[in-house]
Amino acid sequence: MNRETAAAGHARQFRPTDEYDGQVRCPWCESTDTRLVSPYGPSVAEMMFECLDCKQGFGWLKWQHKLPD
């Protein structure tokens, strides 16, 4: 496996998905107009989101909720 192939596989594996977009409520303004920024935050158990209304970033613990179904 060459370096480019390894990098492409890594990017595909860790690329955020949109299955959580609009489903997680912002803790600052209560909006659900949010998007997943990174599936990993400061800890492996946390996902990083951005609120598109108030423009604040926030962490969401993966085991707190069971979204999406």
Instruction: Assess if residue 10 is contained within a domain.
Output: no
DSSP letter for 3, please: H
Residue 34 and residue 44: Cα distance in Å, rounded?
20
Q: Is residue 3 part of a domain?
A: no
Query: Taking a C-beta distance cutoff of 8 angstroms, is the pair 51, 31 a contact?
Result: yes
| Structural domain for 23, as ranges | 17-69
Q: How many domains does the chain have?
A: 1
Per-residue pLDDT tens digits of the chain, which is 69 residues long:
555 544 444 444 544 567 888 889 999 999 999 999 988 888 888 999 999 999 999 999 887 555 655
Asked if residue 46 belongs to a domain, the reply is yes
Q: Which residues pair with 35 in a beta bridge?
A: 50
Instruction: Residue 61: count other Cβ atoms within 10 Å of its Cβ.
Output: 11
Mapped onto helix, strand or coil, the DSSP state of residue 35 is strand
Residue 55 domain-assigned?
Answer: yes
| Token pair of 35 as six digits | 């998007």
pTM: 0.67
